[in-house]
Amino acid sequence: MILTEPVAPVTIETTVNGETVRAVVSPRQSLADFLRDDLGLTGTRIGCEHGVCGTCTVVFDGRTARSCLLLAVQADGATIETIEGATRSGRLASLQAAFRARSALQCGFCTAGVLLTAAEVIEEGVSDPTALRHALSGNLCRCTGYQAIVEAIAKVAAGTPHD
Amino acid sequence: MKPAPFEYRRADTREEALSLLAEHGEDAEILAGGQSLMPLLAMRLARPAMVIDINRIGGLAGVTEIEDGISVGALTRHREVARDALVARDAPVLAKAVPHIAHHGIRNRGTIGGALSLGDPAAEFPACAVAAGARLVLASAAGTRRIAAADYYLAPFETARGPEDLLVAAEFPADGRGAAVVEAAPRAGDYAIVGLVALARPSGARLRDVELVYFAAGERPNPAPAAAAILAAADDARAALAEAAEAARREVETIATPSASAAVRRHLVGALLGRAVAALFEGARP
């Protein structure tokens, strides 16, 4: 059976960047679209919309996840942090400074996803450059600026961001 | 890419999920980690009338001890499988497989139940389950049944799970053998072109109790018993590699896809055996 009729929207209550949000969403709406279109949080980029590129990475209930592979309805009762919230909290400050110093971004489209993934990986204690490359393999940079990205992250992971 | 419309139901208990499946199973998809389902929905390769979200069901996540080993709950995420002490003790092959599964953020969300139930021929966990002799626990409104992983996978994305069934756990008999998971993929985290799960007990130059199951080579997890027997019978397993690889190339089904021809896959079936044997001996070093 294929649905052709519109489906009734669902009311959700979620916490985004520390603020409680009540919203009415369509069941098929992705969390990525909800964050961008309904909440105006356009720091979350949408690249491939099927989980390959990692640009839409957000922190969902404490762990990074691709927001194109989550439904907005799944955010009900969940806690979400986007690049806007993580920037405001200062959690990414040393990574962002290292990216600036090393020019570790070109067009910037992948940067939000890369920063959130890198912050989590560093918090988990990964510092070996090869392991960092593996951990970042799910975040594509179509400018192909990987060398600078990995160097900037490796410096922060090694605790020497200003070298 | 946007999914077609569907009705969303969140099951907060196992009973609720089973009753929804009993009524709507034919037209429904189960949403666990969503790391495979959501792309299928986005590309409209799946077009269910209903999506049943099981993420909030209590008691479906985590690893518990059972009489002959461990039971891994369907909602246990890949990252938890990789870090679990009971998995490390009784089914270390699962932890060895996790780094090969997709990417960091996907391993945060993806569940073992989803990976096992989907029947993707390129997936790592189904081959692990077949190699380790796991039992998949299927619950429905009519009751609970167990099916050997080896009998579960019928064809790509076709399994013994009925539309009313929910895969609730996988039971792994305690397995003290060494484990290796190796694969050839274009890039870390990409789908394997061919992969191999190998279990064995290294002893000097010998390998005992060898079990080999290939994945991504053919249409489902593909055991290689003849190659395993050659390795297990040899006084020096490494010296028997060429013969075992030849046997594996003969007995393992290899398919052609846009990413690799059957001939490339046949080559990799042999090459990966060498890497797996090396990894098994490496893992046995004190």
The total number of residues written for chain A in this structure: 163
Partnered with residue A30 across adjacent β-strands are: A71
pLDDT in tens, A121-163: 999 999 999 999 999 999 999 999 999 999 999 999 998 766 6
Tell me, what's the pLDDT at B266?
A: 97
pLDDT over 80 at A22, yes or no: yes
Q: Please give the share of chain A, as a percent, with pLDDT higher than 90.
A: 90
Gap from A102 CA to chain B (nearest CA, Å): 24
Partnered with residue B45 across adjacent β-strands are: none
Tell me, what's the pLDDT at A163?
A: 62
Tell me, what's the pLDDT at A160?
A: 75
Number of H helices, E strands in chain A: 6, 5
Tell me, what's the pLDDT at A123?
A: 95
Tell me, what's the pLDDT at B149?
A: 98
Average pLDDT of every residue of chain A: 94
> Cβ separation of A63 and B55 shorter than 8 Å?
no
pLDDT under 50 in chain B at which residues?
A: none
Tell me, what's the pLDDT at A162?
A: 62
Name the closest residue on chain A to residue B191, using Cα atoms.
A52
Question: Which residue among B6, B26, B27 sits closest to A7, beta carbon to beta carbon?
Answer: B6
| Tokens linked to B224 | 């290689």
**What is residue B168's DSSP assignment?**
E
Residue A110, Cβ density class (10 Å: 0-12 exposed, 13-18 middle, ≥19 buried): buried
Tell me, what's the pLDDT at A4?
A: 67
Domain topology for A90-157: DNA polymerase; domain 1 (1.10.150)
Work out the angle at residue B173's Cα, subtended by the Cα atoms of residues B169 and B175, and round it to the nearest 5 degrees: 130
Name the closest residue on chain B to residue A117, using Cα atoms.
B105
Tell me, what's the pLDDT at B123?
A: 97
pLDDT in tens, A83-133: 999 999 999 999 999 999 999 999 999 999 999 999 999 999 999 999 999
Residue B204, Cβ density class (10 Å: 0-12 exposed, 13-18 middle, ≥19 buried): exposed
CA dist B275 to A50, A53, B37, Å? 32, 30, 32
Name the closest residue on chain A to residue B51, using Cα atoms.
A27
Is B178-284 in CATH node 3.50.50.60?
no
A→B contacts (Cβ < 8 Å), by residue, are 1-8, 10, 26-28, 30, 33, 49-51, 54, 57, 60, 63-66, 68-71, 73-74, 76, 117, 120-121, 133-139
Interface check B2 vs A, CB under 8 A:
yes
* Dist. CA B77–CA A75, nearest whole Å: 18
**What is residue B173's DSSP assignment?**
E
CATH superfamily, region A10-86: Beta-grasp domain (3.10.20.30)
Gap from A77 CA to chain B (nearest CA, Å): 10
> Cβ separation of A70 and B38 shorter than 8 Å?
yes
CA dist B223 to A77, A131, B183, B272, B283, Å? 44, 31, 15, 14, 22
Interface test with A, best of B2, B8, B24, B98 (most A CBs within 10 A): B8
